[in-house]
Amino acid sequence: MATPPNMSAADFADGLSAMRSAVGADWVFDQPADLNTYRDFYSVLWGEPEEKVASAAVAPANVEEVQQVVRIANERRIPIYPISTGRNLGYGGSAPVLSGSVVLDLKRMNRVIEVNEDNCSCLVEPGVSFFDMYRHLQESGSKLMMSVPDPGWGSLVGNALDSGGGYTVQGYRGHFEAVCGIEAVMADGELFRTGMGALPGSETWQQYRMGIGPCMDGLFRQSTLGVVTKMGFWMFPRPEAWLSASVSVMRYEDLEELVRIANELEYGNIFNGMPGFSSPVLTQGNPIVMAMVPDAAEMNRMVEESGIPAWSFSPNFYGPEKVIRAQWEYVQSRFAHIPGVRFAEQSFVDLPISAEDMERIHKPRFGIPSLEIFNVGSRGYGDFNPSDGHIWFSAVIPRSGKGIIDANRVMRRECERLGLDLFMFAPAVTCWTRSFVLFAAVPVYKDPARNQHLREAVREIIDICAEHGWGEYRCPPAFMDDVMGAYSFGDHKLRRVNEAIKDALDPNGILSAGRYGVWPKHLREGRGA
């Protein structure tokens, strides 16, 4: 049996025995067949000695059991690694960052505690999946819409904690931005509530995020500081209709103006849905892979010969039909001066969604969870060599035309030089309102030699992006130290402040050791190695 680092088998067995007493013997897993299901199935270290694996898993059913397990771990210095539903594939799945940690599996805590129709909010436990929540909302006749990621099999809480994004309305689709109120078990086993949750008797926990003093919600984002056991979210009242449109321009040079005006319109609330930015002429071969942006003359020649636009911007509108049609009309007026600009209404959907519309829509745009996106791996978007999984490379880049072109060229050129395959490449994703995030899906194989090459190449890409001022917002465990290392302002003050907070709140270093490059004091020098 694997044991946590620097712990005797006897001490670990004693700890697991105490955890069995806390949660019941059926909910402590330490046999290989069960632990196999906790491996990161898309790990870039699969099958290698360095693969990050759990020594055991413990699945409490409620907050009190979580507190007991944390106290047991803290007394014995057993490293524990909380997961919500464990579906963070491409970013680590259900495996710990520190090998030998005990995974604290919160899947059984799956209560929707409240959906408040008047406040347009909810309060949920970490085991509630987007599918669970959608069923709950539908069966209860709710008039609220939630924002879901794609794929949508994960946890509302876990996805928000890792800053996941959806496709719906600004203020909601950056999932951590929609959080209002967190309850967490701290390393000492005590219960902590953020915002108005700290005021006994308050009815405003899901209304006012800040409470008093520093806003503490951020302590728990991608963190090593607590076990989140409840989270509140703001939700969007279901709109009457949705309209998707496109603005297409025919010259390389028009991108800067396209993005500049689109930004102004979004920040001014003229449209509220997630916009799209792409290059129709550079995605002819595959809609989810943008080719290298050529020089201006070459791109303009391609456009002229094919008649396919150079760039497109797709605004999306949620609201009453009258309002969103007027908004779309205004949007068009703002781009009318661009020579050759084309406008098109792409899709209009009345809500509630009819059976016919359900067959044609992209479900996550309407807060409906789906796993259909996984058909990327079933040759749904081109016959690339099927892989054993993938990781995401997700870098925050400037929200400008130059940002798109620079990031496209650098990634395309460097990935080709390094022999790094990409089967999805979108340089301007807008789940988070004020920046672009460059998304690249890198295929992973259960082949150590290929994965070793992949790891070296990705580390080089991280460094190259950092030289341009681009940093990842989220990454797989194998690269967390590298990515945190790139945020180096002030001699790595960000990491050092994180470490100081870590030492104060979790002095024994039991929680999520190594997550996003923050290690407890006793593992800091070797970074868990």
Partner 1 sequence: MRLLLASAALLAAGVGAVAAQDAVRTGPAAPELAEGKAVYAHWCAPCHAAEPSLPGTMSLAAKYDGSDIPAALEDRTDLSAPVIGVFVRNGVAWMPPFRPTEISDAELAQLSAYLTAPLEDRGAHTPLLADEMVQLHGGSSE
Active site residues: 91, 473-474
Could you tell me if 59 and 34 are in contact, meaning their C-beta atoms sit under 8 angstroms apart? no
* Region from 1-9, 69-77, 354-362, 413-421 binding partner 1, contact rule CB under 8 A: 354-362
Distance CA 290, CA 384 (A): 15
Residue 134 interacts with partner 1 (CB under 8 A): yes or no: yes
Residue 139 interacts with partner 1 (CB under 8 A): yes or no: yes
Count residues near partner 1 (CB under 8 A): 57
* Region from 83-91, 171-179, 210-218, 312-320 binding partner 1, contact rule CB under 8 A: 83-91
Q: Which of 8, 17, 354, 452 binds partner 1 (CB under 8 A)?
A: 354
DSSP assignment of 457-482 equals: HHHHHHHHHHHTT-EEEE--GGGHHH
What's the distance, Cα to Cα, between the start and end of the chain in Å?
19
Distance CA 463, CA 486 (A): 7
* Region from 114-122, 266-274, 361-369, 475-483 binding partner 1, contact rule CB under 8 A: 361-369
* Region from 140-148, 211-219, 225-233, 249-257 binding partner 1, contact rule CB under 8 A: 140-148
Residue 94 interacts with partner 1 (CB under 8 A): yes or no: yes
CB of 434 to partner 1, least distance (A): 31
Phi-psi region of 91 (alpha: psi -120 to 50; beta: other; left: phi over 0): alpha
523: exposed, middle or buried (Cβ count in 10 Å: 0-12, 13-18, 19+): middle
Sequence-separated (6 or more) residues with CB below 8 Å from residue 489: none
Asked if the bond preceding 352 is cis, omega within 30° of 0, the reply is yes
Residue window 152-191: x/- pattern of binding to partner 1, with contact defined by CB under 8 A: -x--------------------------------------
Is the CB of 54 or the CB of 161 nearer to partner 1?
54
Residue 57 interacts with partner 1 (CB under 8 A): yes or no: yes
Q: Which of 84, 142, 147, 224 binds partner 1 (CB under 8 A)?
A: 142
Distance CA 496, CA 347 (A): 49
CB of 336 to partner 1, least distance (A): 37
CB of 133 to partner 1, least distance (A): 11
DSSP assignment of 223-247 equals: -SSEEEEEEEEE-EEPPSEEEEEEE
Residue 375 interacts with partner 1 (CB under 8 A): yes or no: yes
CB of 91 to partner 1, least distance (A): 13
| Measured CA distances, 155 to 84, 134, 211, 453 (Å) | 6, 12, 25, 32
Q: 287: which 2 tokens?
A: 């809609």
Strand, helix or coil for residue 356: helix
| CA nearest to 50, candidates 443, 529, 392 | 529
Q: Look at the block and give the residue holding tokens 């800040």.
A: 210
Q: Which of 280, 377, 448, 485 binds partner 1 (CB under 8 A)?
A: 377
CB neighbours (10 Å) of residue 398? Answer: 16
N residues, the chain: 529
Q: Which of 6, 21, 34, 237 binds partner 1 (CB under 8 A)?
A: 34
| Cα torsion angle, 308, 309, 315, 321, sign | negative
* Region from 248-256, 367-375, 430-438, 516-524 binding partner 1, contact rule CB under 8 A: 367-375
Residue 194 interacts with partner 1 (CB under 8 A): yes or no: no
The phi and psi torsions of 323 (rounded to 5 degrees) equal -70, -50
Is the CB of 10 or the CB of 33 nearer to partner 1?
33
Q: Which of 32, 49, 141, 268 binds partner 1 (CB under 8 A)?
A: 141
Residue 402 interacts with partner 1 (CB under 8 A): yes or no: no
Cα Rg of the chain (Å, integer): 24
Q: Which of 331, 368, 440, 518 binds partner 1 (CB under 8 A)?
A: 368
Residue 107 interacts with partner 1 (CB under 8 A): yes or no: yes
Residue 353 interacts with partner 1 (CB under 8 A): yes or no: yes
**Binding positions for partner 1, 489-508, rule CB under 8 A:** none
CB of 102 to partner 1, least distance (A): 14
DSSP assignment of 11-71 equals: HHHHHHHHHHHHH-GGGEE-SHHHHGGGS-TT-TTTTSTT----SEEE--SSHHHHHHHHH
Residue 39 interacts with partner 1 (CB under 8 A): yes or no: yes
Residue 442 interacts with partner 1 (CB under 8 A): yes or no: no
* Region from 11-19, 316-324, 347-355, 402-410 binding partner 1, contact rule CB under 8 A: 347-355
Q: Which of 20, 77, 108, 453 binds partner 1 (CB under 8 A)?
A: 108
Is the CB of 386 or the CB of 507 nearer to partner 1?
386
DSSP state of 402: H
Residue 369 interacts with partner 1 (CB under 8 A): yes or no: yes
Q: Which of 47, 340, 386, 469 binds partner 1 (CB under 8 A)?
A: 386
Identity of residue 96? P
Residue 363 interacts with partner 1 (CB under 8 A): yes or no: yes
Residues binding partner 1 (CB under 8 A): 27, 29, 33-34, 36-39, 41-42, 57, 59, 85-87, 89, 93-94, 105, 107-108, 131, 134-135, 137-139, 141-143, 153, 351-355, 358, 363, 366, 368-380, 386-390
